[in-house]
Structure 1
Amino acid sequence: MDSITQAALGASIAGLVAGRTLGRPVLLTGALLATLPDLDVLIDYGTAVANFSQHRGFSHSLFALAPLSVLLAVLLWRWKPEPGFPRWLLLTALALMTHPLLDTFTTYGTQLFWPIGQPLAISSIFIIDPLYTLPLLAGCIAFLIRPPAVRAVAAGLVLSTAYLGWSFVAQQIITERVQPVLVEAGFEKAELLVQPMPFNTVLWRATAIKNDQRVEIVTGFLDGGAPLTLEYFPRQPELARSVAQLPETRRLEWFTKGFLDYKAHNGEITATDVRLGIPGAHPFTFILADDRDGAIMPGNGERAPRPIMNTGALPLLWARTTGAIPVLCLANLATPAPGQEC
């Protein structure tokens, strides 16, 4: 999740655990602790692919954060003996470890058990969702105005947690909605990713991939009984095979679980993570190799320029979320002409 959300969650936890004893400063303590895991963005792992795939790695591992919680609790306890070591340990452990647990609900992927296993991604909440964050902020503001505001802080945590639970339930509902249509379209054995569209859990995007084709479905809870629209995108398996043995390719395949789109343009072979963003606005594309007259020359994993955000599409996205328009084509973020399909 975004840094503001993580800080608000850590501050809320700290306020609830030790707010009566430490007062307003405890919010800052909790916020700082909760943002510590994301300091790994300051580390340069050598290539853009490495930086992309190793973010949320060791710093988000429960195996690393558990002993760090004990160490920080000891230091804080020696600095301020009140409210006692057990409460300091509870504060540090919760503030640190709820960070990667919350990140796991997003799509990016969190290496919760680094150094073993694949990144985990439940994908039920967008990386920025105001309805999750606002209750936490409201509780923190109430604490600042009139500490310790235990009921307000607790209410914020309960509401945000309930919303997180709702996001998972909503994801299952949407998954059940799209699966029969995907089976009918021949995608019954395809890898499937169901995730919310930006900033909400009302409108959802389902992405199914198989060897030579990808299909996207946008559907929401305000669509009524409108039929689902399938939007097809070709894949290039031969291009993927041409760079399959490159270390950067293998790393991306592992990190994204195969949700990649390979392209060749002006002699460059690129791979795009199609999980993040939406078609036409995927933020993570990497240059894997150069194709020189059929000879594949490994690249350095450089990240391609990020596409410019089409702010003019935001009203259409809102209209699609509310059900005011029944179809939004992802390829061009536009509504289809009358009588046409995406």
Structure 2
Amino acid sequence: MDSITQAALGASVAAVVAGRHCKPKTLLIGAALGTLPDLDVFIDYGDPISDTVKHRGFSHSLFVLLPFSLLLTALWHHYRPTVLSFGRLWLLVAACLITHPLLDSFTTYGTQLFWPLDNSIAVSSIFIIDPLYTLPLLIMLIASLMWREKMAKLCSIGLIISTTYLAWLVVAYKVIEHRIEQELKHTPLANKPMFISPTPFNTVLWRFIILDDDKYYEGFSSLLDPKDDDGYPIQWAQRERGRLPLKQPSEHVAMLTKFASDFVQYQTIDDQLVVTDLRLGLIEYLPFRFIVAKQSPQQGWQLIAPVKMEERKVKPKHLPALWLRLLGSRDVNADLCHINECPSNTVIKT
């Protein structure tokens, strides 16, 4: 999640744990602890793919944060004694640190909660920036600064609202997942690898990807879609996924493919091999695109140090179609499917 959300979450958690001992500086400490795990973004792992894959690694691991919280608490308790007992102080520090990766694990990007074990947790039920999650926390934090005698109570209200919303998002994910499974039940795409995620800044409109060998299908479904006799019909755009032209994947390609759970696209653009993580973003606005090899007539494909491609800027003309689709209009499905204006893409109905 974004830094503002993590700071607000950390401050709110600190206020609740501190209880009647909560002061404005408690909120500041909680906010700092809540953003601390993301300082790993300043670590250079040598190339953009490694930087992408290894972010939310050791600094988000419960196996690291729990002992680190004990060390931090011991130092704090020794050099800056507080009215809180050692146990209460440790609970404050640990809760602020650990709620950060726990929240991150609900996003699409994924979080290595159990590093160094080689797995990643990604519920994919919330976008990395969601105002409806963040605003209750911020509003109650501001209110707590105005009514300081009620700091802990007000912050607990904000946490209850945001946590309830987070739980609802998992339910919404399951609703959409059930719709798509019912729609695909008797089609060739049934039981194919599927990925579901909310579209940016909301959890009403959801995006789907289904892999099918060297093709993939992309579609949208809104919680506001009207139901007809056949359920919730969904239109899909068939797109080229491509195949890896290398005899075997390089270390970086293998790393990215595993990170993306195989939801990657291979494209040859100007004699360059571009590998794209299909999960993050939507349609043509996919930010994690990397050049990993170059082709020449004499030598064929040659691996190069990975280069991250510049992100495409969102065109304002595409925003109305997304908004109308969010509200349940199926008339804009074709517009969404053809945002990249590629004539080879065809809209199909499964």
TM bin (shorter chain): over 0.9
Q: Which residue type is aligned with residue 333 of structure 1?
A: I
Contact 2:106–2:124 (Cα < 8 Å) also in 1: yes
1:245 counterpart SS class:
coil
Question: What CA distance in whole angstroms lies between the structure 2 residues aligned with 1:83 and 1:243?
Answer: 61
Residue equivalent to 1:303: 308
1:127 counterpart SS class:
coil
Q: Report 1:1-342 matches (<5 A).
A: 1-78=1-78, 79-147=80-148, 148-225=150-227, 227-237=233-243, 240-242=244-246, 244-293=248-297, 295-324=300-329, 326-328=331-333, 329-333=335-339, 341=347
Q: Which moved more, 1:183-192 or 1:59-68?
A: 183-192
Contact 2:105–2:111 (Cα < 8 Å) also in 1: yes
Q: Which residue type is aligned with residue 38 of structure 1?
A: D
Aligned residue pair count: 336
Question: What CA distance in whole angstroms lies between the structure 2 residues aligned with 1:310 and 1:185?
Answer: 34
Q: Identity, % of aligned pairs?
A: 41
Q: Which residue type is aligned with residue 24 of structure 2?
A: R
Question: What CA distance in whole angstroms lies between the structure 2 residues aligned with 1:59 and 1:17?
Answer: 23
Q: Which moved more, 1:307-316 or 1:126-135?
A: 307-316
Change (3 A) 1:185 1:231: farther
Contact 2:219–2:337 (Cα < 8 Å) also in 1: no
Aligned-residue CA RMSD in angstroms?
A: 1.8
Contact 2:322–2:336 (Cα < 8 Å) also in 1: no
Question: What CA distance in whole angstroms lies between the structure 2 residues aligned with 1:292 and 1:181?
Answer: 45
Contact 1:204–1:218 (Cα < 8 Å) also in 2: yes
Question: What CA distance in whole angstroms lies between the structure 2 residues aligned with 1:92 and 1:222?
Answer: 41
Q: Which residue type is aligned with residue 105 of structure 1?
A: F
Change (3 A) 1:341 1:266: closer
Contact 1:229–1:327 (Cα < 8 Å) also in 2: no
Mark the runs of 5 or more structure 1 residues left unpaired by the alignment.
none
For residues 41-67 of structure 1, what are the alpha-carbon distances to aligned partners after superposition, in whole Å with 9 as ceiling and x for unaligned?
Answer: 000000010001000011011111011
Contact 1:62–1:113 (Cα < 8 Å) also in 2: yes
Question: What CA distance in whole angstroms lies between the structure 1 residues aligned with 2:143 and 2:247?
Answer: 55
Question: What CA distance in whole angstroms lies between the structure 2 residues aligned with 1:321 and 1:217?
Answer: 12
2:286 counterpart SS class:
coil
Shift of 1:305: 1.1
1:186 counterpart SS class:
coil
Change (3 A) 1:252 1:243: farther
Contact 2:17–2:88 (Cα < 8 Å) also in 1: yes
Mark the runs of 5 or more structure 2 residues left unpaired by the alignment.
none
TM-score (norm: length of structure 2): 0.91
TM-score (norm: length of structure 1): 0.93
Shift of 1:210: 2.2
For residues 2-29 of structure 1, what are the alpha-carbon distances to aligned partners after superposition, in whole Å with 9 as ceiling and x for unaligned?
Answer: 1111000000001111152141111110
Shift of 1:251: 0.5
Q: Which moved more, 1:189-198 or 1:15-24?
A: 15-24
For residues 142-169 of structure 1, what are the alpha-carbon distances to aligned partners after superposition, in whole Å with 9 as ceiling and x for unaligned?
Answer: 1111114333211110111111111111
Contact 2:321–2:336 (Cα < 8 Å) also in 1: no
Q: Which moved more, 1:140-149 or 1:129-138?
A: 140-149
Q: Which residue type is aligned with residue 158 of structure 2?
A: G
Shift of 1:175: 0.6
2:111 counterpart SS class:
coil
2:195 counterpart SS class:
strand
Question: What CA distance in whole angstroms lies between the structure 2 residues aligned with 1:190 and 1:241?
Answer: 23
